[in-house]
Structures are given as structure tokens and as C-alpha cells.
Amino acid sequence: MEKRSLGGRRKLGWDRRLTQGPAFNRAKLCVVALLVLTLSGCFGLASPEMRRYGTASLSGAVKIVTPSHDGRDDADKGEPAVLALSLRRDEAPSAILPAAATGFGPSYEYLVALRRRSGRAEAEEVAGRLGLFYEKEAVEGVHVLRDPLRREAASVIRLLEASAGVVWAEENGWVAPLGPAPDLEALGQWALAAIRAPEAWQIADASGVVVAVVDTGIDFAHPNLDDQSLWLTGWDAESGTDYGYGAFRREQADGHGTAVAGIIGAVPKSGTGFRGVAPGVRLLPVRVIFKGAGEDDVIAGIKEAAKRGAQVINLSLQVVTQSRPPRACSPAMSQALDEVLAAGIVVVAAAGNTRGDLACPASHPGVIAVGAVDRDGKVAAYSARGSDLDLVAPGGDANGVRVLRQGGGYGYEIGTSFAAPHVAGVVALMLGKGFPQDPESVRALLHMTAVQLHDAPGLHDERTGYGLLDALGAVAADIPEILLVKKEPGRLVVEVRSQAGTGGRFYIPSVPEGTWSVVGWIDVDGDGRVSPGDYYGEHGPVASRAMQNLVNVDVILRPYEGSPLELVTRS
């Protein structure tokens, strides 16, 4: 059979001497080129867009920077952002507390009086010139303007007072009943300051968002947890019955679950100086760690948390076996995680305390894996690492993270177990503010807003992931749109629209030949144009040619301060 086949080929003219040499290769190229031109041009098989576009491509990544209330970018500070508002136990507190420590930061709103009791139109004109938003008329002739750029109050007031038609301008302050003096012990929670949680609370809360604490038992009688409105009825894997506030035995309580639950949702109590990351959250306790507990109990707990309405699941635990490496999840565990992720539930897990590879379940590709940093913004020596690490959060090292103790007290602990719930709490804030219940979108925004630490070599580092958790950035920003544009006076002519994804990365597969700017944009006010208060950044000009792959076209987004730009789609 083989000989007949070969003979047949030769009979049809397949002489090897005719298929070798440069002349034959040139002939092949000519035939192929002729076929392509004929099919695409004469027969019209190529779409107009294919004929118009070259084969250049473009890729890059986005980072989103949200200024602090003092107007500085944490990403641009010489010191690690984690030092903000930190107060060591051996330091004396300042007589004047930072605004965020008292719970009342700047309002970024201003009362502005105009000459001759001018109306709304005049006030809106003043606001437009200075990048402010008009809110309302407080009383006759006095208007409320808001600064979306969150600039220092004194500088905005100076700008307002120098504007034509303005009689006076003052900050529109917060109003609260007089109470006891600020609890200085609250500053002992350096972790909250490190992730800018007090600033995030000014624009977001987690009201009604359900976070499952899949962990050990919890001390529901702790003063900061003894609040029925905090809890939903959970589940106990040991007994297979309901578990939670009003449905537990005291011997089930454990310090680990108590600490994790407190980091996420502890309720402030006068004189205790302790609060959770996510005010207003509802906690769903799922007890899966006890004497004799196995991986099957964790799997059952994950599924039960989903059945009982969890929107976020926190897993400050690790599955340990002798038969497989720590990062390897069993098929049953992987399937359980796949199912809850497909249902839109966000899963956050501790990376592990071995300094090696990520542990299961943090190693699962859909889970947000969280490593730990200490008070000084350095990666904790014990924190697991790897290419799948998403970000880091306070977990302590030589100095610990302040936590609730079983039995009603307070103390300090270290471990990625206590880093993960900071992220779970911030995810609850994001969802409470209206961010979509989509695990990959949540992960992408956490990546883009995380603050790169001073010793990280690039966009992603195996020790720090995409950077330090930033609560303020996560609740203030959104997923940016990526635009390939021609810049013209007062407008952007849009050629291609795309979107940033996981890691902030974006890819435009077909880029026309020419010179372009790559723009990242978040339309904060929803007016369809680039305006003050939106997030905006650009990279360019970038020259593209056919058969060229443009890489590392990175864009940093910050609040926009310029004149409005109209967006026009090229016809």
C-alpha cells in the first residue's frame, strides 16, 4: 500500500527535484500572495474592517491612583503608604488627631456666598471654572459646591475667594451630637490606617452585604460582636445544624474565628477603640475547623455558605495533606470553589504562612489570594508567595495586627489569616457601594487600585502581588475603559474601545497604522465626556506600523483636573 501511494504521488508530478531550491520557494510565495489578493480583493471575502486595519497589536496595563485627603498620591510617597496614621504603642498620641482618626474627615463640600444673591446659574459657572460640582442652594444666595478632586480645603477656599462674584467661601462641615472625646486607643489599629479604611468609610459602607466567615467557632459574647443585627444564622459542619448568634455552645468558641470575624465586622463600642473594616456588614458564621475536621467539612461549609446567601466568603485556612503539595486542591475542593465563583460569590483566602507556594484554597485560580505585610509596609517573612498571589494586606510580623480575643479582650496576632479578612471587608464595602457582584471584576479592580510597595520591581511581584490593599481606591474607582484616540482641541476622536481586566491588563489586537494616544478613562459622573472628577490617564503618542506588536503601553489613571473633553467616535 505504501509503495502504491508513493507511486501515485509521483505520477501526479511530485518529483522531489522540482520541490527544492530558491526558485520553487519564490514561486510558492507568489502563488500564495496571488490567492490572498484574489480572495480578499476580487471576491470581497475580507471585511471592510480587515482591509482597513493593519496587523499591529497593542498591550499594556492600568494602575489607578486615588489621592488621599491631604491631596497626595500614596503611590508617589517616598515612605510606604502603610505608615499613614500609624501610632506605635510606645509613642504618645498627638494632641491634635488626624481627621480620619476622629471619624470625621474633610467633607469636600463648600458653602459659597455670591454677590447680589446670584442664582444657580452663576454658582454653576463658578463651579465649572474650578472643577467643582454644583450640589444645591443651602439658603438664599448661599450654594453648596462639591470638590470631586478631593483637594486640600484651604487651597479650594482660596480659589473660590479669588473668583469673581464670590463674597465668601467656607468648608461645609460635618454635624454630630457632642459626645465623649475621641478614643485614642482606636489608633492602635494601624492596619485600618494602612489600607485607608477611615477614608473609604466616608464614601461607602457595607450595609446588608453578607460575608461568610468559614472558620473556627466564634465568641459571639465578645462586646464588639455581641450585636444581633451583625449576624445571620450560619451552619456548623460538626453537627450539621444551624450555628450562630443565639445558636451556639460556649465551648465551640475559638480565638481564630473570633479574630477573623472582628477584623471584618466588629461593631464599635464606647471605650473599646476597635472596629471592623466593613461597617454595616452582615456576618454568616460557618464552623468548619474543630477537632477531627477534614477537607470535606470545608467543602461542605463553602457550599452551605452559598446556600445561605453569602456574597463574599473568607477562608483564613489551609488544607494539609501528605499525598499532594500544599498548593494542590482536591477535585472536590476545586469543584466547590468553581461552583460558588460561577454563582458570582467572591472568595478571599489567606495565602499561607510557609513562605513557599500558595496554599489551597488560595491557590485556586478564581480565589483572591492574600499575602501579609507588617506595620512598616514590608512583606512578612512567613507570607507565601508566587505568580498567583493577588495582593497583600496587614498581617503583621514582629508587630501584630490588633484583634479581638476570645473571652472579651484584645490582643495582637500575626499571619495571613488576618490579612485576608481585611480584603474580604473591603470587597464588602465595594459591593455595598454598588460595584457589580462579579468575582473577576472585583479582583481586577483590587489589582488596579492596589498600591505598589516601594521595593516591588514591577506591575506584579511574587512577594507582594499587585500591591497593598487600598480600601479608598477600591470604593472610589471602577473598571476603566481603554480608548485608542486621536487628540484634537477639546475632544478625543475614538478609533477603538477596549477594557482593562485582571491585573489591569488590556489588549487591542488590531491597531490601524498611524500615531495614536492610548487613554484610560472612568466616567465617574456618567456624563459621557472626560470631565473634572473622572479618572483619566494617557500614554502616547504611540506610532503603529503593520506587523508590529506594541507592548508595555502602561497607563496611570488619576482624578482629572483639566477642561472637559468630548468623545467622538470615528465614523
Catalytic option among 215, 297, 390, 478: 215
Answer for the pair 446, 460: CB distance below 8 angstroms, yes or no. no
Catalytic option among 86, 363, 383, 417:
417
Q: What is the mean pLDDT of each run of 10 residues along the chain (571 residues)?
A: 32 32 45 40 38 70 83 41 21 29 58 78 89 81 85 89 88 45 49 94 95 95 94 94 84 90 92 88 95 89 97 93 82 94 98 91 96 92 94 91 92 94 98 96 97 73 94 96 95 94 93 93 94 94 88 92 92 68
Q: Is the peptide bond before 541 cis (omega within 30 degrees of 0)?
A: yes
Residue identified by cell 466588629 is 266
8 Å CB contact between 370 and 390: yes
Residue 256 annotated in active site: yes
- What is the structure's pLDDT at 97? 29
Catalytically annotated residue among 256, 364, 422, 460 = 256
Stated as kind and residue range, the H or E segment containing 212 is: strand 210-215
Question: Is residue 513 a contact partner of residue 55, using CB atoms and an 8 Å limit?
Answer: no
The DSSP element (H or E) to which 431 belongs, if any, is helix 420-432
Q: Which three cell numbers stand for residue 37?
A: 489578493
How is 501-514 classified by DSSP, letter by letter? -GGGEEEEEEE-SE
Residue pair 212/428 in contact by the 8 Å Cβ criterion? no
**Bridging pattern class, strands 505-511 and 391-394:** unpaired
Q: What was the pLDDT predicted at 75?
A: 43
> Residue 123: CB partners within 8 Å, gap ≥ 6?
112, 114, 134, 137, 143, 145
